Amino acid sequence: MNGTLKLPAPTWFVGCGNMGGAILDGWRAGGLDLSPVTVIRPSGTPVEGTRTVTGFADAGPPPKLVVLAFKPQKLEEVAPELRKWLSARTVIVSLLAGVEAASLRQRFPGVGAVVRAIPSLPVAVRRGVTGLYSTDAGQQTQQELNDLFSALGFAMWMADESKLAALGSVAGAGPAYVARFVAALTKAGVKRGLTEEIAAVIARETVLGTAWMAATTGEGMESIARRVASPKGTTEAGLAVLDGEGVLDDLIAATINAAFSRGAELAEEARAAVQA
């Protein structure tokens, strides 16, 4: 990580669930100084390298950066109290799934910029994917946030919220689906006589090795599959099951569509709450 990379002081994390914690883990692993960070969470559970408080009144000076890292269903409860502590110098980065920039701007009208971020859990080990979107963040703010999230893996600004939602459906939710695939490979190995421990290692390293080979060589997945599958061989027999009648493609498409649809539902719920 670039030694000149710094978090704005003060930075507030409002909530610190799985994704908020993963972001902080990634920055810490990369050597980023977390001393500007105050985590505000009712439980008061400490977060390494940061100051943790239970309420806004104890958080200190108004923040330059606020990361919303709680469940989207909590927004109506949190927003009225939080906005009292914000200013025109504050940039809000929202991790709230499905809550659109316009809905956030309505709840925080006086802040300098509203940015949506959809990261994936592997940001914790600096191999994540993060999509960013804003209608009002200036070039400097965009560059600063791009640098911070690029330190956690791959980051990119999306042209619109539909594309951001698409990224979230694939990258944000994707680790859960990959985890299920690794678990299924493990179970298949156990059924063929391997111990669960050995099968789990083999499945995990197979997925990691394949992805790493593609990432480092630029070789496409279809090419890799063809190179593994010799004509009339064992791999080709297995691929016939996955490829038959588009079974795997249809299953993955349905999975991604379900995630995308749920994101749209969350967006509609947030819009309706503003109008209520």
Q: Are residues 115 and 251 in the same domain?
A: no
| pLDDT score for 154 | 97
138, part of any domain: yes
Residue 232, token pair as written in the block: 């009339």
* pLDDT tens, position by position, 127-148: 999 999 999 999 999 999 999 9
The domain boundary residue, chosen from 153, 170, 187:
170
Calculate what percentage of the chain has a pLDDT beyond 90. 91
Helical H segments across 123-246, by residue range:
139-150, 161-167, 174-191, 196-217, 221-228, 234-243
**Rounded mean pLDDT, 251-274:** 88
Q: Residue 1 pLDDT more than 70?
A: no
In a domain, 270, yes or no: no
Q: Are residues 183 and 77 part of one domain?
A: no
Do residues 134 and 158 make contact, with C-beta atoms less than 8 angstroms apart? Answer: no
Please give the angle made by the CA atoms of 79, 81 and 87, to the nearest 5 degrees.
Answer: 85
Residue 1 located in a structural domain: no
What tens digit of pLDDT does each residue of 219-254 get? 999 999 999 999 999 999 999 999 998 899 999 999
Query: In which domain, by residue range, is 66 found?
Result: 11-170
Which tokens go with 254? 């349905």
- Is the confidence at residue 157, as pLDDT, over 60? yes
The answer to whether residues 137 and 189 belong to one domain is: no
When divided into structural domains, the chain yields a total of 2
Note whether residue 17 is domain-resident.
yes
In a domain, 205, yes or no: yes
User: What mean pLDDT do residues 122-128 have?
Assistant: 97
Structure confidence by residue, pLDDT tens digits, 44-75: 999 999 999 999 999 999 999 999 999 999 99
Residues 17-41, mean pLDDT to the nearest whole number: 97
pLDDT confidence of 271, banded at 50, 70, 90?
confident
Distance (Å, whole) CA 32 – CA 9: 13
> Would you say residue 3 lies in a domain?
no
| Selection from 10, 4, 7 nearest residue 24 by Cα | 7
- Beta strands 37-40; 51-53: pairing state: parallel
DSSP 103-142: HHHHHSTTSSEEEEEEE-GGGGGT-EEEEEE-SS--HHHH
Tell me whether residue 215 is exposed, middle or buried, using C-beta atoms within 10 angstroms of its C-beta: 0 to 12, 13 to 18, 19 or more. Answer: exposed
Q: CATH no. for residue 199?
A: 1.10.3730.10
